[in-house]
């Protein structure tokens, strides 16, 4: 797998399986580690940078905080923040008109 989007949609149905808990901070750490393992091999390496800007705009934030911290701040707890992340990420992909490659038939997409 060489796509951050594919990774997120792989995690979405069962976050605890990958993250050991329903936590947006655990998701952020997992994604960061996955990216740093071999960034040169990732097809959509800039998607999280684009998502960062989208989150800042959506939540009217112009401070230097990560997308995870911004979403957590606007949620009641880590669990709700994780659910809000998946909701926001779906909206983001719709707004940028992201198209899923046909080769990803095993990934559950929105």
Q: Is residue 17 part of a domain?
A: yes
CA distances from 69 to 55, 89, 101, 104 (A): 10, 15, 30, 30
Number of domains within the chain: 1
Task: Decide if 100 is inside a domain.
Answer: no
- 40: in domain: yes
Instruction: Give the global pTM.
Output: 0.89
Instruction: For residues 62 and 43, give the distance between their C-alpha atoms in angstroms, rounded to a whole number.
Output: 28
Query: Which residue's structure tokens are 């559950």?
Result: 108
Distance from C-alpha of 45 to C-alpha of 22, rounded to nearest angstrom: 24
**69-85 tens-digit pLDDT:** 999 999 999 999 999 99
Q: Is residue 106 part of a domain?
A: no
Q: For the chain, give the mean pLDDT.
A: 91
Within a domain: residue 33? yes
Q: What is the dihedral of CA 8, 102, 3, 88, to 10 degrees?
A: -40
Within a domain: residue 107? no
**Inside any domain, residue 102:** no
Let me know if residue 103 belongs to a domain: no
Return d(Cα 41, Cα 24) in angstroms, integer: 25
Q: Which domain holds residue 74?
A: 4-95
pLDDT at 103 over 70: no
């Amino acid at each position: 797998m060489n796509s951050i989007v594919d990774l997120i949609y792989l995690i979405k149905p069962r976050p605890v399986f990958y993250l050991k808990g329903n936590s947006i901070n655990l998701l952020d750490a997992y994604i960061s580690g996955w990216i740093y393992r071999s960034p040169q091999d990732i097809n959509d390496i800039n998607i999280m940078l684009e998502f960062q800007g989208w989150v800042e705009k959506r939540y009217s934030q112009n401070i230097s905080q990560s997308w995870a911290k911004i979403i957590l701040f606007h949620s009641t707890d880590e669990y709700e923040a994780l659910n809000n992340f998946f909701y926001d990420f779906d909206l983001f992909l719709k707004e940028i008109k992201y198209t899923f490659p046909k080769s990803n038939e095993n990934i559950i997409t929105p």
